[in-house]
Amino acid sequence: MKKTLFVLLLMSAALLTYAQPPEGDAKPGEWYGEKVNTEGALNINDVVKKVNGGAEFPEVKIKAKVVEVCDKKGCWITLELENGQTAMVKMKDYGFFLPVAAKGKTVVIDGEVKLKTTSVAELKHYAEDAKKSKEEIDAIKEPKKEIRVMAKGITVVE
């Protein structure tokens, strides 16, 4: 019985440790996922204008400011756009995460940028991850068209 209890406690501790964003300060030069050469990165707002016009960017480097980082694991971030909206970034194959300290930093992301319709269920999931209030979560009633970035790698630049 003691062994079983010990194993259960050990497994619980391991799961709690695993479900946390990575530690770190997200200092300039640090990278997550694949290392990204920051030269030639395009301003996200220029790319968004083209995507909204029908262009596709299956492979592009963009530069943007991080607005929000998933508090649970660091598994998604949002980027600031000039129109007061944000772009959602997910990590390719769930292969890497960002520390919460990346919030407010400028990053260069290598990946795919496209326009996507996000379901109500997914929007509510992100709101829960962001620790929004129950009222804010319940207010989500319709899918949303948004800019989606699938990141292969992210490098902090500022």
pLDDT in tens, 52-109: 998 989 999 999 999 999 988 899 999 999 988 999 999 999 999 999 999 999 999 9
- The answer, as to whether pTM is greater than 0.85, is no
Q: Is the pLDDT of residue 7 over 80?
A: no
> Structural domain of residue 147, as residue ranges?
22-156
CA distance 19 to 129: 12
In the block, tokens 């129950």 appear at 134
Per-residue pLDDT tens digits for 119-152: 999 989 988 888 889 999 999 999 989 999 999 9
Give the CATH number, domain containing residue 89: 2.40.50
Residue 83 placed within a domain:
yes
Residue 2 placed within a domain:
no
Q: Is the pLDDT of residue 10 over 60?
A: no
Residue 124 placed within a domain:
yes
How many domains does one find in the chain?
A: 1
